[in-house]
């Protein structure tokens, strides 16, 4: 794909992450044309102009719809708060643009369905921003599972914990609004769900609990505002093939910064992985000498592709933004009509259905089967 024209909506954490990826993908991989960073959109025109200069975009605008009619733009990155994803992604697809949208798809399931349908009608590539699945270590774990390195998998435990909402006096902001979704489930736990899907397949049934560690947070006016969603979630689930899973997620876990702890237990061993140590995993096999048997640590290295595109030596380590560069390259692969390691809107909708089934289970206090 020669000289893709890029439009970006949003200048926050993930907006910058997308911009870094678009800037780095050609230099990193060396087999694609350098994308053209055409226009950056941000609701504040002054901020849009400032960030366009920092990120390397030729133009800026305070109106995101300006991107839709621009013939120079081929792909639109949507990196806004969750409640705006559906409107923007659907409009972009209907305007004939490819879409790279940050997770989750949308707070409302019906909006996520509309996003999937719009993508199908458009014939354009519509990809979700699940960059953790791009980690060469996750790819290696998937290969080990496929070759039966730990036998038949029977149980998985996954925890996702961060502490960015652990302080009870932290001010209320949009992530605590009901309009942004259920909280820990869809803003957060969709990441481990993307890993579970990548490694094992989709969720079939769930029973869930959610909790609010703090009922209110300080409001901008000096008072208190009620927290409208849940920062903690605990889920039991069954995956395709009958694998049992325990999923726990907290946005209020002091001391945890970027933890996705994955424990995979099989009939002939186990695998341990933690996102806070994303350049390694541990594997235990039962086929060794019992006197020296134990977990072996595997460090990321050039043979774990595409690590080699970044660093020529083992043990030096990739970072979060590097995974986004890999995801960007996969998106370009998909735009070229080739199979790509991505979660598209169709598969993304399956993850959304899982989240909404969990919320339904919390309300009904029972198991919920997932269909569709």
Confidence of residue 371 (pLDDT cuts 50, 70, 90): confident
Find, among 138, 133, 131, the residue nearest to 279 by Cα: 138
3-state DSSP helix/strand/coil percent for the chain, to nearest 5?
40, 25, 35
Residue 372 clears pLDDT 80, i.e. is over it = no
Backbone angles phi, psi at 205, to 5 degrees: -155, 155
- By the 10 Å C-beta count (0-12 exposed, 13-18 middle, 19+ buried), 321 is classed as middle
Q: What is the pLDDT of residue 289?
A: 87
Where residue 187 falls among pLDDT bands split at 50, 70, 90?
Answer: confident
Mean pLDDT of 47-65: 98
User: How confident is the prediction for the chain on average, in pLDDT?
Assistant: 96
Give the H/E segment covering residue 226.
Answer: strand 224-226
The pair of three-digit structure tokens given for residue 253, joined into one six-digit string: 């876990």
Which tens digits make up the pLDDT trace of 140-173? 999 999 999 999 999 999 999 999 999 999 999 9
Say if CB 7 and CB 77 are below 8 A apart.
yes
129: Cα separation from own chain's centroid: 5
The Cα diameter of the chain in Å comes to: 68
In the structure encoding, which two tokens stand for residue 1, read together?
């794909």
For residue 287, the model assigns a pLDDT of: 92
User: What is the rounded CA–CA span in Å between residue 321 and residue 318?
Assistant: 8
The band of 2, judged by pLDDT with boundaries at 50, 70 and 90, is low
Per-residue DSSP letter, 189: I
Domains and their CATH numbers in the chain: 5-131 (3.40.50.720), 133-318+344-364 (3.30.360.10)
Could you tell me the pTM of the whole model?
0.95
Q: In what order do the strands lie in the sheet with 98-101?
A: 59-61, 36-41, 5-9, 75-78, 98-101, 126-128
C-alpha to C-alpha distance for 93 and 116, rounded to whole angstroms: 10
pLDDT in tens, 271-286: 999 999 999 999 999 9
Specify the 3-state DSSP secondary structure of 303: coil
Count how many Cα atoms sit within 13 Å of the Cα of residue 172 in the half-sphere of its side chain: 20
pLDDT in tens, 283-297: 999 998 899 899 999
pLDDT at 204 over 80: yes
């Amino acid at each position: 794909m020669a000289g893709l024209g890029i439009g970006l909506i949003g200048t926050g954490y993930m907006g910058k992450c997308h911009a870094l990826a678009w800037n780095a993908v050609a230099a990193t991989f060396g087999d694609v044309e350098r994308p053209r960073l055409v226009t950056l959109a941000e609701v504040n025109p002054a901020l849009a102009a400032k960030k366009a200069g920092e990120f390397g975009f030729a133009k800026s605008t305070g109106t995101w719809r300006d991107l839709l009619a621009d013939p120079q733009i081929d792909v639109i990155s949507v990196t806004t708060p969750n409640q705006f994803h559906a409107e923007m992604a659907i409009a972009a697809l209907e305007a004939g643009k490819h879409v790279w949208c940050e997770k989750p798809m949308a707070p409302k399931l019906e909006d996520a369905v509309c996003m999937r349908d719009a993508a199908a009608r458009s014939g354009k590539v519509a990809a979700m921003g699940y960059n953790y699945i791009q980690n060469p270590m996750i790819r290696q774990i998937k290969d080990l599972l496929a070759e039966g390195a730990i036998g038949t998998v029977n149980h998985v435990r996954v925890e996702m914990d961060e502490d960015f909402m652990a302080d009870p006096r932290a001010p209320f902001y949009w992530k605590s609004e009901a309009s942004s979704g259920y909280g820990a489930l869809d803003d957060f736990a969709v990441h481990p769900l993307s890993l579970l899907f990548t490694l094992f397949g989709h969720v079939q049934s769930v029973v869930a609990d959610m909790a609010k560690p703090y009922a209110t947070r300080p409001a901008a006016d000096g008072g208190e505002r009620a927290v409208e969603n849940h920062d903690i979630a605990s889920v039991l689930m069954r995956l395709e093939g009958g694998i049992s899973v325990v999923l726990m997620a907290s946005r209020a876990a002091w001391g945890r910064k970027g933890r996705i702890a994955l424990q995979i237990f099989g009939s002939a061993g186990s695998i341990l992985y933690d996102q806070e140590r994303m350049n390694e995993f541990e594997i235990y096999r039962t086929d060794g000498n019992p006197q020296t048997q134990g977990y072996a640590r595997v460090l990321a290295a050039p043979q774990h592709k595409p690590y080699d595109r970044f660093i020529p030596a083992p043990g030096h380590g990739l970072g979060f933004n590097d995974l986004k560069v890999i995801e960007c390259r996969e998106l370009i692969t998909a735009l070229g009509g080739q199979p790509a390691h991505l979660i598209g809107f169709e598969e993304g909708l399956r993850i959304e259905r899982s989240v909404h089934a969990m919320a339904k289970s919390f309300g009904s206090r029972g198991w919920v089967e997932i269909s569709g």
